[in-house]
Amino acid sequence: MSNASIPSGGPVDPAVIDDLVAASRILAHHGVLDAWGHVSIRHPKNPERYLLSRARAPALVEAGDIMEFDLNSDPVDQQGRRMFLERYIHGEAFRARPDVNAVVHSHSPTVIPFTVTDEPLKAISHIASFLAGGCPCFEIRDVGLTQGLLVTNNKQGAALAKVLGDKPVALMRGHGNLVVASDIQRVVHRALYTEVNAQQLATALSFRRPIKYVTEDEAQDPKRLGDSWDVWKAEAMGK
């Protein structure tokens, strides 16, 4: 269905699309995204639009798969393409957080245990210090189920964004997480190190000794994200 009633935000620099494709592949390469997670960015020229792949495994996403949506997660020009059921996570995160320009939804494997217990997922390493304030956890039953634990409408997406509040990461009970940031490199860093920190914290917990978490006054936003981005992009894009 072509939806002529939703105007496009306009053409997007191919380099921006290239980075969105790379983000998807980097997170798949590192096992953060399985065959179903997704990455999106806000449209650079229109804050009421966002860009997300058609429904496709993240490891296979290409520039031609990128579609444009409004904040209700209706497509600007669907062209018969299959869309992610859970795209509402993105639309409502962009609506709720004007400071956010990039969103990841993943089923990050080591995060799941922290979504089903009251064990807090907090930073234990400097590089994951964006987690110093902890992660709120979304309980989808609070807003009502539609398809298992999946977020398949705006009401559920808005409830998730409300639980996220002003934080960088929200957990989703028995499902995964929502990660947001001001830009694509930062959201990839956060999604990846949320998984790494969860692995390291699970190891620390296995020692059954008191844990010293990174405190909020120790937290520091990483400065040179471009260094890791260049390596990850080269690896994931096979260049």
Q: Which is nearer to Zn ion, 17 or 149 (CB)?
A: 149
Residue closer to Zn ion by CB (options 86, 92) is 86
Q: Tell me, residue by residue from 66 to 105, as one string, x for binding to Zn ion by CB under 5 A and - for no binding.
A: --------------------x-------------------
Position closest to Zn ion via CB: 86
- Least Å from the CB of residue 107 to Zn ion: 6
**Minimal distance in Å, beta carbon 50 to Zn ion?**
17
Closest distance to Zn ion from the beta carbon of 218 (Å): 32
In the residue annotation, 68 being an active-site residue is answered as no
From 62, 68, 86, 195, the catalytic residue: 86
Count of residues in contact with Zn ion, rule CB under 5 A = 1
Is residue 94 within 8 A of residue 50, CB to CB? The reply is yes
Q: Report, in Å, the least distance between residue 93 CB and Zn ion.
A: 13
Which residues of the chain form contacts with Zn ion (CB under 5 A)?
86
Q: Give the catalytic positions in this structure.
A: 86
